[in-house]
Amino acid sequence: MTKGIAGIGEDYKYGFKTPEKYVFKSKKGLSKEVVEEISHLKGEPEWMRKFRLKSLEIFLKKPMPWWGGDLSGVNFDDIYYFIRPSDKQGRTWDEVPKEIRDTFDKLGIPEAERKFLAGVGAQYESEAVYHNLKEEWKKKGVIFLDTDTALKEYPDIFKEHFSTVVPPADNKFAALNSAVWSGGSFIYVPEGVHIEIPLQAYFRINAQNMGQFERSLIIAEPGSFVHYVEGCTAPIYSTNSLHTAVVEIIIKKGARLRYTTIQNWSKNVYNLVTKRAVAYEDATMEWVDGNLGSKVTMKYPAVFMHGRGAKADILSLTIAGKGQNQDVGGKVIHMAPHTSSNIISKSISQNGGRSSYRGLVKVLKGCHGVKSNVKCDAMILDDKSRSDTYPYMDIDEKKVSIGHEATVSRVTDEQLFYLMNRGLSESEAAAMVVSGFIEPIVKELPMEYAVEMNRLIQLQMEGAVG
Amino acid sequence: MNNKSLKIDDLQASISGKKILKGVSLNIKKGEVHAIMGPNGSGKSTLAYTLMGHPSYKIEDGSLLLNDENINMLSPDERAKRGLFLAFQYPVAIPGVTVMNFLRNIYNKKIALANGGKPVSIFQFNTLLKERMGFLKMEESFAKRYVNEGFSGGEKKRLEILQLEILNPDLAVLDEPDSGLDIDALKVVSEGVNRAIEKGVGVIMVTHYARILNYVKPNFVHVFIDGRVVKSGGPELAKELEDKGYDWLKGKVNSKH
Ligand SMILES: Nc1ncnc2c1ncn2[C@@H]1O[C@H](COP(=O)(O)OP(=O)(O)O)[C@@H](O)[C@H]1O
Ligand SMILES: [Mg+2]
């Protein structure tokens, strides 16, 4: 019965624009001058300036990826690489320039902060306009800052870890980020500290043809726990924007880290992100990666399990609608015995959208007792849409247990008929089946996001069916 | 209330171009219990689906009048709004949707329709659900399972009857609610059907065996063969079928028709 379901863009409620009033805007395009200018404006140490310049060279040398999404619409000359929104960062929302504050109000960030967060960072274009961590956690030695400030205030911890997880030469976009990075979150959780409620960062692009290149670095000391949540949105423009982040995570012995992303960029954003964690002995890394928005996303959160007993959990949820290509997945690298990983991917393709699961399970020689399970479920809602699975395996050890399972499903006429017989309209029935499909992942999201997710699905099902 | 009725008049319907219903006429009033008995493949489920508006079943001729309104063209949810309900012979699974959420959803939808009323809270609904599940001897943990996923035959049937009781429709078609049940489950399910009947629901009970009619007493029994009602009578007809089977009626067309 279902003819198709409205794409997310039709109901995108974050597409509003705010007038551009900036302290500084670099000229369009990428060059050595632009990179030097960024470093200079930030007053960075020499090593960082050099790091950026070297990264730029790598970027220029590396070819575009030949696989993944269609990146022919990315024009590196047509992007603003640095925009400073405000000359001062707020510790309270009152200190944030009014128009920017209004934007975050509309996005519900200050309210969420009051209700259920331990700390919040808000980045607007290239830099953080607000950052705050509740006193309680500061007292326990937790550091939660934007990455620029962290470089100034904690130069030693910073330099020790920065770029150790994702080197600039890792891939073309990691090199780009390394050259022009700005903003992002820096988190340090001291040994044994459990931050019971989430820290959240929100990334907003407002300007047209903007490139946002935040860089995050998270260090979880032994036995600690933190849940970090990030959200992101942008206005709808007819020209393209670029979001290229790098996230580096270090989880030490017995620590656990959960990183939840709700990516909801407008459909003119190319989202090309490198996210990677290293997990030491008995450490646990959990990626909960929701991709709803953007034009093209290429993102494969990775966990390198260096220590015996380390664990990786990757939950990936994707919705690809009209004009969208979501090329996502996860990578787990087993580098020690008795490490385990679990990847669950759920994708919904509709209205001509295309989603791909691309994943890697790698086990090095000698890593006996490794357990890995991959489960990919795709739901395709109409004949125009498409879903593919590319599960790569590279197993160099015999004494391991590896599982892989993939399913493709649809909302069936029988399901719609059953639910409509109970009084639900066709769109409500379709929404129910779809929300059931993603339930195993949605139930892992923070409450507020779970509610929002179900609301989005509901909205999407309206109008386009029947 | 008692003037509510469903009139099926010379209903002919096909699936994939194949004619299955070849002229069915029945008249069911609210509060009545009609048993439809017939061999496998005679078109009983087809009748149920056609009444409920399944899109694959095409009405070729005849009419469905619900409270004097022709509903031939209405979608399944419009029919549900007007008080029709089907307990499925083979209910479909809705993975990831818990019984609890599903039932609260359809219950609230029904309430909103009935009196434009406010939806009940999760807490209120769970209290109601717990009580109703108790009647059907269902474990509390059942509410947390996903709708019909991995359910045994008996669990599926109970969930259908649970919905019948929660939605309290005007007219329900129960498509083989007894198939695959052991005697204890059959009793529990029958009690549920009887509670619904006491509340005034009209029932079309589709069944293959007379067994359930020992527990749910029909006012009328119709024998269904090859897409037609070939004989109608009172409860005694069920007994006769139990003794003689269907063969003696094959090739016969009900004279009343
Ligand atoms: N989707 C279908 N396509 C073609 N024929 C069907 C389909 N569904 C049912 N039928 C046929 O319709 C007839 C009646 O089936 P059904 O209504 O299920 O009978 P009953 O419920 O009495 O056992 C059978 O001959 C069956 O093969
Ligand atoms: Mg049947």
Query: What pLDDT score was predicted for residue A9?
Result: 39
Q: Which of A284, A185, A279, A174 is nearest to A231 (CA)?
A: A185
CB A435 within 8 A of CB A457: yes
Asked if A458 reaches chain B (Cβ–Cβ under 8 Å), the answer is: no
Handedness of CA B47, B52, B53, B54 (dihedral sign): negative
Q: How far apart are CA A241 and CA A208, in angstroms?
A: 7
In a domain, A221, yes or no: yes
Of A1, A424, A466, which has the smallest distance from its Cβ to B106's Cβ?
A: A424
Query: What pLDDT score was predicted for residue A450?
Result: 79
Element (H, E) at A343: strand A340-349
Identify residue A358 by its one-letter amino acid code: R
Per-residue pLDDT of chain B (257 residues; tens, 9 = 90+): 447 899 999 999 999 999 999 999 999 998 999 999 999 999 999 999 999 999 999 999 999 999 999 999 999 999 999 999 999 999 999 999 999 999 999 999 988 877 667 888 889 999 999 999 999 999 999 999 999 999 999 999 999 999 999 999 999 999 999 998 999 999 999 999 999 999 999 999 999 888 999 999 999 999 999 999 999 999 999 888 888 888 888 766 554 44
Of A420, A423, A436, which has the smallest distance from its Cβ to B96's Cβ?
A: A436
- Best of A416, A419, A421 to mutate (most B CBs within 10 Å, chain B): A421
A247-262: per-residue pLDDT in tens? 999 999 999 999 999 9
Q: How far apart are CA A422 and CA B86, in angstroms?
A: 8
Show the domains of chain B with their CATH numbers.
5-93+170-256 (3.40.50.300), 94-147 (no CATH)
In a domain, A461, yes or no: no
Query: What pLDDT score was predicted for residue A189?
Result: 98
Contact B55 A426 (CB under 8 A): no
- A-chain CB neighbours of B56 within 8 Å are 413
In a domain, A254, yes or no: yes
In a domain, A10, yes or no: no
More confident residue, B1 or A70: A70
CB B110 within 8 A of CB B120: no
Question: Residue B88: closest CA among chain A residues belongs to which residue?
Answer: A418
- Best of B56, B77, B165 to mutate (most A CBs within 10 Å, chain A): B77
Q: Supply the pTM of this predicted model.
A: 0.88
- B-chain CB neighbours of A425 within 8 Å are 77
The structure tokens listed for A231 are 């959200």
Q: Please name the residues in contact with B19: beta carbons below 8 A apart, sequence gap of 6 or more.
A: B12, B13, B60, B227
In a domain, A84, yes or no: yes
In a domain, A437, yes or no: no
> What residues make up the domain containing A366?
20-425
**Which pairs from B132-139 meet CB under 8 Å and 24+ separation?**
B132/B162, B132/B165, B132/B166, B133/B162, B135/B165, B135/B191, B135/B192, B135/B195, B136/B161, B136/B162, B136/B165, B136/B188, B136/B189, B136/B192, B137/B188, B138/B162
* Domains of chain A: total: 1
In a domain, A165, yes or no: yes
Distance B74 CA to ligand 2 centre (A): 23
ipTM of the complex: 0.96
The structure tokens listed for A345 are 């991917």
The structure tokens listed for B177 are 């609610």
In a domain, A139, yes or no: yes
